[in-house]
């Protein structure tokens, strides 16, 4: 592989054409994010989340857009962004389902959940469904061993999940119904949570005093996966083969 090019001495603008991924409103948010920091380069992570909220994942054009905004090279953006697993470098489903397969969860049937999800989604762990709605991955410890087997959908926790529970969750999300996590938060799409992460603490010009705060899902409502109900012995019976 040879990369043919004309040397410009590092003039990025001349070397690479790219598509600016932000529309006007998104650009206003991007500017508001940059304005939060004394040095523009500090805004690299929230801007990458903003890219993810727009593009669904961190695209090449997105990284170039950010690089150009804050005066870094695309390579520097990639170097920072590639460290963080929540910034996705590959196309990603709307919902990321992470199943813990660490020791507690495995003991309590995590692999049954994994198998059930594989069959339901028609794909092995680590992949995205053909319709682009779900990405399914196995995860190391999610730090909720008392709720094993535990899964996360877009980083919201679900405890004591049976294979049937997992399949039911997928069914509900696929139908567009509301799903609430163990904490009672409405599960939102990758784009939604990326936007919320990106714009936390930022404020659009003209919206006096209205800093966006991370709302953590808003008002909690009853959930099938309430933390105060764990361990839900009823789920244990029959569903876990041990």
Partner 1 sequence: MSDGKVTLTINGHDVEAEENRLLIDVAEELGVYVPRFCYHPGMKSVAVCRMCLVKVEGSRKLLPACATPVTDGMVVDTVDEEAVDAQEGMLEFLLINHPLDCPICDRAGECPLQDQTYKHGPGSSRYIEPKRTYEKALEISDLVVLDRERCVLCWRCVRFSEEIAGDAFIQLIDRGAGTQVLTFKDDPFDSYFSGNTIQICPVGALLSKPYRFVSRPWDLTSAPSVCSYCAVGCPLTNEARAEKVVRCQALPNENVNDFWVCDKGRFGYHYVSSEERLASPLVRTDADEFEATSWGRALDVVTGRLRTARRIGIIAGAHLTTEDAYAVSKLAKKTLRTSDVDSRLQDAGAPYERAAALSGVAGSTATLNDLESARTIVWVGPDPKEVLPVLYLRLRKSVLEEGAKLIVVSPRRISLDAIATHVIRCDVGGEAEAVDGLTWGFDTAVAGDVGDPLVVCWGPSSPGRDEGPIVDAVVALARNKNAKLLVCPPHAGSQGMIDMGVHPSLDPGYTPSDSRGKDTRGILQAAAAGELDILLLIGADPVADFPDGGLVARAFGSGVFTVAVELFPTESVAHADVVFPSAAYAEREGTFTNLERRIQKLEPLTAPPGSASEPWRICSRIAHGLGDDWGWAGFNDVWTEIRATVPTHAHVDLTWAGQESRPLSLHYESPFQPDPTHGRSVSAGPGAGYPKGHRSGAPFHTGQNWPLSWELRGFEARQRPGIIPSRPPEPPAGDDPVSPAPAPGAPAGDDAALRLIPRTDTPAGGDASLRSGTPLSSAFASEASPSSAKGWSRTGGEDGDSPEVKAGKSGVPERSGESSPAATWHSVEDEFPSFSEGRRSFVLYTGRLLYDEGAMVSKTVALKSLARRPFVELNEEDAKELGLSEGDEALVGGNGVRATLEVRLGDIARGAVFIPYDQPGWRANSIIRGVNPVVEVRHP
Contacting positions for partner 1 (CB under 8 A): 1-10, 14-16, 60, 63, 72-79, 82-83
Q: How far is the CB of 15 from partner 1 (least distance, A)?
A: 6
Nearer to partner 1, 1 or 208 (CB): 1
If you search the block for the tokens 């876990």, which residue do you land on? 240
Pairing of strands 134-139, 95-100: parallel
Nearer to partner 1, 4 or 175 (CB): 4
Q: Which residues have CB under 8 Å from 27's CB, separation 6+?
A: 20
Nearer to partner 1, 54 or 87 (CB): 87
Greatest C-alpha distance within the chain? 68
Q: How far is the CB of 59 from partner 1 (least distance, A)?
A: 11
Euclidean distance between CA atoms 152 and 95, whole angstroms? 10
Q: How far is the CB of 5 from partner 1 (least distance, A)?
A: 4
Q: How far is the CB of 238 from partner 1 (least distance, A)?
A: 40
What DSSP character marks residue 56?
A: S
The closest of 57, 68, 93, 83 to 14, measured between CA atoms, is 68
Q: How far is the CB of 236 from partner 1 (least distance, A)?
A: 36
Nearer to partner 1, 6 or 241 (CB): 6
Nearer to partner 1, 40 or 227 (CB): 40
Euclidean distance between CA atoms 183 and 79, whole angstroms? 34
Phi/psi at 96 (5° precision): -100, 115
Nearer to partner 1, 102 or 144 (CB): 102
CA dihedral over 10, 19, 194, 218, signed as positive or negative: positive
Euclidean distance between CA atoms 236 and 200, whole angstroms? 39
Q: How far is the CB of 79 from partner 1 (least distance, A)?
A: 4
């Amino acid at each position: 592989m040879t990369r043919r090019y004309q040397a410009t001495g590092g003039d990025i603008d001349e070397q690479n054409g790219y598509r600016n991924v932000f529309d006007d409103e998104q650009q206003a948010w991007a500017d508001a994010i940059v304005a939060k920091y004394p040095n523009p380069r500090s805004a690299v992570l929230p801007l990458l989340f903003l890219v993810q909220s727009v593009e669904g994942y961190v695209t090449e054009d997105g990284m170039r857009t950010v690089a150009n905004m804050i005066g870094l090279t695309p390579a520097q953006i990639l170097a920072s962004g590639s460290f963080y697993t929540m910034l996705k470098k590959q196309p990603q489903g709307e919902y990321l389902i992470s199943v813990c397969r660490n020791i507690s969860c495995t003991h309590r049937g995590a692999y049954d959940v994994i198998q059930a999800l594989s069959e339901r989604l028609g794909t092995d762990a680590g992949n995205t469904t053909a319709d682009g709605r779900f990405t399914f991955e196995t995860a190391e410890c999610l730090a909720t061993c008392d709720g094993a087997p535990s899964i996360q959908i877009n980083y919201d926790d679900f405890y004591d999940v049976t294979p049937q529970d997992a399949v039911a969750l997928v069914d509900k999300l696929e139908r567009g119904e509301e799903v609430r996590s163990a904490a009672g938060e409405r599960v939102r799409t990758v784009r939604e949570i990326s936007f919320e992460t990106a714009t936390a603490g930022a404020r659009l010009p003209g919206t006096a005093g209205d800093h966006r705060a991370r709302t953590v899902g808003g008002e909690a409502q009853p959930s099938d996966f309430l933390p105060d109900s764990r361990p839900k012995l009823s789920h244990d019976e029959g569903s876990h083969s041990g």
